[in-house]
Structure 1
Amino acid sequence: MSVFAYPSEVIRDAEVPLLEAGVPLMARAARALANISIDTLTADRGQIAGARVCVLAGPGNNAGDALFAAATLARRGAAVAIITLFDRTHDEGLSAARRAGAEVFAFTATGSDTAPAGPTRTEADASTAPAPGPARAEALHELVRADLVLDGILGTGGRRGLPEHIASLLADWAPHRTGRLLAVDVPSDLSPDAEGAETRLHADRTVTFGGLKAELVDPRVNEFTGSIDVIDIGLGLDTGLAFAELLDSDDLVTDFPRPDAAGHKYSRGVVGVLAGSEDYPGAGVLTTTSAVNTGAGMVRYLGSAFVAEFVIGLHPEVVSASGRVNAVVFGPGDPEPEFVQAVVDALTDTHIPVIIDAGGLDMVGRAEAMAGTWMADRPIIITPHAGELARLLSRLLGEIITATRIGEDPIGWARQAAELTGTIVLLKGHHTIIATPDGHIVLPEPGPANLATAGSGDVLAGILGTLTAIASARHRYDGDDRPLPSNEWARLAGLGVLVHNAVGQRAVTASGFADALAEVVDELIHGRH
């Protein structure tokens, strides 16, 4: 089901009144981290007793979470080693770990082997602190032989870039690592654009507390976070403050729009399709087929008679006459200009939602397209891939934007494009990103790799057209004159991506996807999922 991701400052602000009231947030977090650590060790080794656990302890509260969890593991029989990496750490957590029998090693920027005040294995030598070499060797030895390492170095308040003594230690450990790595709250040094990725911390699992942090949902950091566990510690976060909403197949099963028993073809939504041309008739067939099979009350084909013959030959229920529509999808297959102009004229002075794909993207942001204000005051969803978005932004910004640059920060570029164009931007790719003009993000779960094939985008356009038409018709027949928020249109687009993902599990070609839609939608409507 939907999971919301929040800016870190929203989560920190929500913690403040609870901490002031004495709510034991750290105890809740540490308990959950200990339980996940126990599950991890049990799965790998069959037992906790005798396991070697190493904590990389920084100066903040995430180190406290790790240290209290380590104390629990030590009481269960694990051999716990704590490596303090700064001149301070979480004192209460460190004391708890020591009382439970953990050994403490210091590896700070000065190279001292002495840990913060308290008994350690090297206390006898504290008056003559050894050179950096032995301290480094000890720390590396503990890391190499650990079955489980807890990364409690830096949390959400930490700056990007680890101090050199820590970065070099981790680089030396990387080729010899055999145990699991759990990141506490967020992986330390989580920087998607940093160099030297092979020697940075790659967590097998990230355990984050209070709410999902925005930095963890960036597609570029997946290799550093591993799987993510979101632990509810009672913050009661306001979803209105969320940065992003993540959707999965459970959302599709729950929220797919099913026909109303009292409905009729017009209340189920009429979608107009302008797709295909004499050069690319297949795009018209694929887009229309997917609109039909997604469950529209009616599909009107608005393109050339040449393409209409192909469409109606396959789907006699499609209407080629103009008339009322609740949404329009146009652009796939570069429809001829005269048909584009006819659709634009019909849309003027209406608020009908529009899906713009492929060739239609050339109209976005152009002064001549805006002259009649046909693109204003209506929901518009544009569906570029990285190359198409690069061309669009290059035109709007007056500088060269490449698909490679888009791939280096897809969320950032999608948000910028949404703000510049005033549209909802659905940036297609393995990790599809949907951005609204106000900066909100919807992230559907990734689909299968075989969706990357010619015509797949035409199928997605048809799906989006029908879902948008259904939502628009329902809103109209409910008698609500207020426009739907852009977040709701973006979420609807996310459901369309999930439908597209589902058909990608059943076919390997675009025509196969379009045909499989009928089966997928039948199962969604009738509950056979």
Structure 2
Amino acid sequence: MSVFAYPSETIREAEKPLLEAGIPLMARAARALANRAAAMVKSDHGQVTGTRICVLAGPGNNAGDALFAAATLGRRGAAVTVITLFDRTHEDGLAAARAAGAQIVTFTTALADGARADALSELSRSDLVLDGILGTGGRRGLPDHIASLIADWAPHRTGRLIAVDVPSDLDPNNTGAEKRLHADLTVTFGGLKTELIDPRVDEFIGTIDVVDIGLGVDPGQATAELLDSDDLVTGFPRPDETGHKYSRGVTGVLAGSEEYPGAGVLTTTSAVNTGAGMVRYLGSPLVAEFVLGLHPEVVSASGRIDAVVLGPGDPEPEFVHSLAEALTGNRTPVVVDAGGLDMIARTESMAGTWLADRPLIITPHAAELARLLSRLLGEIITAGRIGANPIRWALRAAELTGAIVLLKGHHTVIAAPDGHVVLPAPGPGSLATAGSGDVLAGILGTLAATTAAHVRYDSDDRTHPPREWARLAGLGVLLHNEAGRRAVTASGFADALAEVVSELIHGVD
């Protein structure tokens, strides 16, 4: 189910009144950390007793969480060693670890040379290491004596590592992965931190376990939402028993051309199989023949539409102009993919164009977004720069265009103009094939049409905030992922959608 991510400052602000009221937040965090650590060593070694636990202790509260957790593990029979890395650490936590029998190795800057052998020996023979070095305020590089210790330990590491709250040195711009800690598990407290959702730091985080310590953070303060397949099951729009074809949404498809007719077929098939009440094909008569030959339920005559898919297969300009005339003056949602992105790139803002003042979803891959941003910003933006920081560039594009930007890739990033980000779970590698984006566009168009039709018939509220459209796009990606798990070609994905959507609507026997 959905997990919301918050800036670290938001989590700290939520902690303050509870700490002032004497709520033992550190005790809650340390207890949860000890339980996760015990589960890990039991999984690996069958029991806690006799295992070796090492704490890398920094100067702050992360060290306190780790030290109190290590004290608990020591009382359960683990052999605990604490390596202190600064001139100070969490005093109460260190006292608790000592009382539970922990051995202390002091590895500060002044004493590093003399203690290096002992520190390396303890790390190398540990079954589990707890990274309590730095928290959310200390991600700008580890001191040299710590970085060199980690680099020396890395070739000899045999045990596992849990990062406490966030991995130390999580700055995504830092280089030298051999001098950084690679966690198997990150146990974070109070809420998911936005630092942990950046795709650039995946290799340092491992699995993320969010522990509720009672902060009660308002999801409205979140800057990102992570979606998984459970969200698709609960959030997919199902037809109402009393509904009709128009209340289910009419999807308009302007995709394909005489040069690329297949894109029109894929996009339309996808729209039909996603469950639209009706699909209108709005493009080339030649492509319409192919479409109607496969899907006689598709309508090629003009009429009501609740959302439009535009762009796959470079539709001819005359059909784009006709669509623009038909949509001028209304707020019909539009999904723009592939060649359709060029019409956005030709203007520095959406103001004054027929695409303005309506829900707009654009679906570039990194190279397409690079071309778009290069035109909008007047400088060279490369696909490599976008791949190195996809969240940043997706947000920048959303700000510039006013659109929901769905940046396609293994880690798809969906950015809204208000700064909100939606991150759907990654799909299978089979989705990386020609025509896959056309299928996704048809899915998004139908979900947008269904949402718009619902507003038309069932709601007094005619608007949806940008983050709701971003979430809808995230559900579309999850649906695309499920189709990708059942086929290996784009036409296979489009066909598989019928089975996936049937299961979502009717359930699985």
Q: Give unpaired runs (5+ residues) of structure 2.
A: none
**How far did residue 373 of structure 1 move?**
3.1
**How far did residue 468 of structure 1 move?**
0.4
Matched, 1:337 2:317: yes
**Could you tell me how far apart the structure 1 residues matched to 2:508 and 2:439 are?**
23
In the alignment, which of 447, 467, 472 is matched to residue 467 of structure 1?
A: 447
Indicate the residue corresponding to 1:154 in structure 2.
Answer: 134
Indicate the residue corresponding to 2:188 in structure 1.
Answer: 208
In the alignment, which of 374, 382, 385 is matched to residue 354 of structure 2?
A: 374
Indicate the residue corresponding to 1:139 in structure 2.
Answer: 119
**Could you tell me how far apart the structure 1 residues matched to 2:444 and 2:347 are?**
26
Matches within 5 A, 1:245-394: 245-367=225-347, 372-394=352-374
Question: Is the contact made by 2:5 and 2:223 (CA closer than 8 Å) also made in structure 1?
Answer: yes
**Could you tell me how far apart the structure 2 residues matched to 1:160 and 1:449 are?**
34
**How far did residue 160 of structure 1 move?**
1.4
Indicate the residue corresponding to 2:417 in structure 1.
Answer: 437
* Change beyond 3 A, Cα 1:172–1:79: same
The one-letter code sitting in structure 1 at the alignment partner of 2:408 is K
* Change beyond 3 A, Cα 1:107–1:437: same
* Cα offsets for 1:443-470 (capped at 9, x unmatched): 0000001100000000000000000000
**Could you tell me how far apart the structure 1 residues matched to 2:433 and 2:203 are?**
25
Q: Could you say what secondary structure the match of 2:398 adopts?
A: helix
**Could you tell me how far apart the structure 1 residues matched to 2:353 and 2:143 are?**
54
Indicate the residue corresponding to 1:9 in structure 2.
Answer: 9
In the alignment, which of 148, 157, 160 is matched to residue 177 of structure 1?
A: 157
**Could you tell me how far apart the structure 1 residues matched to 2:121 and 2:84 are?**
14
Indicate the residue corresponding to 1:61 in structure 2.
Answer: 61
Question: Is the contact made by 2:4 and 2:192 (CA closer than 8 Å) also made in structure 1?
Answer: yes
**How far did residue 133 of structure 1 move?**
2.9
In the alignment, which of 489, 499, 507 is matched to residue 519 of structure 1?
A: 499
**How far did residue 195 of structure 1 move?**
1.1
Indicate the residue corresponding to 2:76 in structure 1.
Answer: 76
Q: Give unpaired runs (5+ residues) of structure 1.
A: 112-131
Indicate the residue corresponding to 1:191 in structure 2.
Answer: 171
* Cα offsets for 1:73-92 (capped at 9, x unmatched): 11011110000000000000
**Could you tell me how far apart the structure 1 residues matched to 2:349 and 2:53 are?**
63
Between the aligned residues of both structures, percent identity stands at: 77
- Aligned-residue Cα RMSD (Å) equals 1.1
Question: Structure 2 length normalisation: TM-score?
Answer: 0.99
The one-letter code sitting in structure 2 at the alignment partner of 1:141 is S
**How far did residue 197 of structure 1 move?**
1.2
Indicate the residue corresponding to 1:120 in structure 2.
Answer: none
* Change beyond 3 A, Cα 1:370–1:247: closer
The one-letter code sitting in structure 1 at the alignment partner of 2:62 is N
Indicate the residue corresponding to 1:129 in structure 2.
Answer: none
The one-letter code sitting in structure 1 at the alignment partner of 2:22 is G
Q: Could you say what secondary structure the match of 2:375 adopts?
A: helix
Question: Is the contact made by 1:271 and 1:299 (CA closer than 8 Å) also made in structure 2?
Answer: yes
Matches within 5 A, 1:490-505: 490-505=470-485
**Could you tell me how far apart the structure 1 residues matched to 2:319 and 2:348 are?**
16
* Cα offsets for 1:351-401 (capped at 9, x unmatched): 000000000000114349957531111000000000000000011111111
* Cα offsets for 1:416-445 (capped at 9, x unmatched): 000011100000000100000011000000
The one-letter code sitting in structure 1 at the alignment partner of 2:386 is I
Question: Is the contact made by 1:369 and 1:375 (CA closer than 8 Å) also made in structure 2?
Answer: no
**How far did residue 33 of structure 1 move?**
0.3
* Change beyond 3 A, Cα 1:371–1:244: closer
The one-letter code sitting in structure 2 at the alignment partner of 1:9 is E
**Could you tell me how far apart the structure 1 residues matched to 2:481 and 2:48 are?**
40
* Change beyond 3 A, Cα 1:88–1:368: closer
**How far did residue 325 of structure 1 move?**
0.4
* Cα offsets for 1:80-114 (capped at 9, x unmatched): 00000000000000000000100111101111xxx
* Change beyond 3 A, Cα 1:78–1:360: same
Stretch moving more, 188-197 or 412-421: 188-197
Q: Could you say what secondary structure the match of 1:224 adopts?
A: helix
* Cα offsets for 1:211-266 (capped at 9, x unmatched): 00001011121111000000000000011110100000000011110000000000
Question: Is the contact made by 2:350 and 2:402 (CA closer than 8 Å) also made in structure 1?
Answer: no
The one-letter code sitting in structure 2 at the alignment partner of 1:173 is W
Matched, 1:410 2:414: no
Question: Is the contact made by 2:345 and 2:373 (CA closer than 8 Å) also made in structure 1?
Answer: no
**Could you tell me how far apart the structure 2 residues matched to 1:436 and 1:480 are?**
24
Question: Is the contact made by 2:486 and 2:493 (CA closer than 8 Å) also made in structure 1?
Answer: yes
Indicate the residue corresponding to 1:238 in structure 2.
Answer: 218
Question: Structure 1 length normalisation: TM-score?
Answer: 0.95
**Could you tell me how far apart the structure 2 residues matched to 1:479 and 1:494 are?**
22
Question: Is the contact made by 1:291 and 1:299 (CA closer than 8 Å) also made in structure 2?
Answer: yes
The one-letter code sitting in structure 2 at the alignment partner of 1:475 is V
The one-letter code sitting in structure 2 at the alignment partner of 1:133 is D
Matched, 1:165 2:145: yes
**Could you tell me how far apart the structure 2 residues matched to 1:208 and 1:422 are?**
33
Question: Is the contact made by 1:275 and 1:283 (CA closer than 8 Å) also made in structure 2?
Answer: yes
Indicate the residue corresponding to 1:33 in structure 2.
Answer: 33
* Cα offsets for 1:94-152 (capped at 9, x unmatched): 000000100111101111xxxxxxxxxxxxxxxxxxxx433111111110110000000
* Change beyond 3 A, Cα 1:268–1:249: same
* Change beyond 3 A, Cα 1:41–1:368: closer
| Count of equivalent residues | 509
In the alignment, which of 375, 400, 410 is matched to residue 395 of structure 1?
A: 375
Question: Is the contact made by 1:348 and 1:372 (CA closer than 8 Å) also made in structure 2?
Answer: no
Question: Is the contact made by 1:446 and 1:501 (CA closer than 8 Å) also made in structure 2?
Answer: yes
* Change beyond 3 A, Cα 1:370–1:218: closer
Q: Could you say what secondary structure the match of 1:105 adopts?
A: strand
**Could you tell me how far apart the structure 2 residues matched to 1:369 and 1:147 are?**
56
Indicate the residue corresponding to 2:110 in structure 1.
Answer: 110
**Could you tell me how far apart the structure 2 residues matched to 1:479 and 1:260 are?**
14
Matches within 5 A, 1:442-457: 442-457=422-437
* Cα offsets for 1:275-327 (capped at 9, x unmatched): 00011000000000000000000000000101000000000000000111000
Question: Is the contact made by 1:271 and 1:326 (CA closer than 8 Å) also made in structure 2?
Answer: yes
Q: Could you say what secondary structure the match of 1:364 adopts?
A: helix
**Could you tell me how far apart the structure 2 residues matched to 1:217 and 1:261 are?**
39
Q: Could you say what secondary structure the match of 1:317 adopts?
A: coil
Question: Is the contact made by 2:142 and 2:169 (CA closer than 8 Å) also made in structure 1?
Answer: yes
In the alignment, which of 226, 229, 234 is matched to residue 206 of structure 2?
A: 226
**How far did residue 527 of structure 1 move?**
1.7
* Cα offsets for 1:489-513 (capped at 9, x unmatched): 1100000000000000000000000
Question: Is the contact made by 2:307 and 2:334 (CA closer than 8 Å) also made in structure 1?
Answer: yes
Q: Could you say what secondary structure the match of 2:86 adopts?
A: coil
